[in-house]
Amino acid sequence: MLQLSDFYKNIFGCKTYKISLDAGCTCPNRDGSKGTGGCIFCSENGSGDFVAERQKSISEQIEAGKKLVEKKAKGRSGTNPVKYIAYFQNFTSTYGDIESLKKKYYEALECEEIAGLSIATRPDCLNDEILSVIAKIAETHFVQIELGLQTSNEETGKTINRCYTNSDYEDAVRRIKKSSQKIHIVTHLIFGLPGETEEDMLNSVDFVVKNNCGYDEKFGIKITVLYVVKNTKLALMYQNGEFKCLEKEQYFELLEKALKKLPENCVIHRLTGDPPKSILVAPEWTTDKKRVMNEISGILNKCGA
């Protein structure tokens, strides 16, 4: 296992930050082509809540993002060089007019200090056309594709209304690797989804490993605890007492078990989310970010990452 900061440092030779961007896409699970209303946990901003306004150009968003990073990292980066990954985070960043998406990806790459792209999407939104655009970029730049999976339990998949299947995910991983061995795949999982047992969550980790670790390249994983945010179906279910959020200790115990399952070529991208306090309903313990980060780094050390 490798931590993300080390992975990026090995590739880029310096501290590398992600800048969240909004490509102006929507999602097939919102516009009616696959479903309506979206995944039950997805916020109004399509699971990306720290981005500049949609009407800004990609370069303007990048400039604003750099300022935000500089403000947050003040005193840490000093005069050392830094690089940035342009992270197309909101909604489904491969869903839309191909030419316009292509323009936005290249606009990001032309900005100063941008070292590569990270493109968040659904496994069922990677047709051959968009994959060939991304594979072409991967010939000259670092590219990672972030795939939402959340769980490998198909029943939970229905409960959360994700509107794609495990085989969509398996197919996406296979086709991405076929299009370019250079694309780094990162899979998102959520622990604590309604009705899930510990076995379900750990099975999801096994499922990601099984689908990715056959490839020589390193693969990535992001795990977060389930966050309930305002104005979502999940918030209604929570208020109606239909499920309980994971307690801090439960989540950390699960994380430790999950990390022990990860092979050496797995990069840990994140083990916590970051929803703004203003929209968070639960779990309350996640707002103590310093403590959460300390606990997580203790677990990472214990697991040898």
Residues that bind ligand SF4 (CB under 6 A): 27, 29-30, 38-39, 42, 46-47, 91-92, 122, 148, 162
Q: Which of 141, 148, 116, 137 is nearest to 48 (CA)?
A: 148
| Smaller CB separation from ligand SF4, 46 or 116 | 46
- Report in angstroms how near the CB of residue 35 gets to ligand SF4 at its nearest: 8
| Smaller CB separation from ligand SF4, 122 or 177 | 122
Contact 97, 26 (CB under 8 A): no
| Smaller CB separation from ligand SF4, 115 or 190 | 190
- Report in angstroms how near the CB of residue 291 gets to ligand SF4 at its nearest: 27
| Structural tokens at position 290 | 């310093």
Phi/psi at 19 (5° precision):
-110, 120
- Report in angstroms how near the CB of residue 243 gets to ligand SF4 at its nearest: 18
| Smaller CB separation from ligand SF4, 27 or 119 | 27
| Structural tokens at position 286 | 């996640």
CA distances from 91 to 29, 30, 274 (A): 10, 9, 16
- Report in angstroms how near the CB of residue 41 gets to ligand SF4 at its nearest: 7
| Smaller CB separation from ligand SF4, 82 or 145 | 145
- Report in angstroms how near the CB of residue 9 gets to ligand SF4 at its nearest: 29
Instruction: Transcribe 140-178 into DSSP letters.
Output: TSEEEEEEEEE-S-HHHHHHTT----HHHHHHHHHHHHH
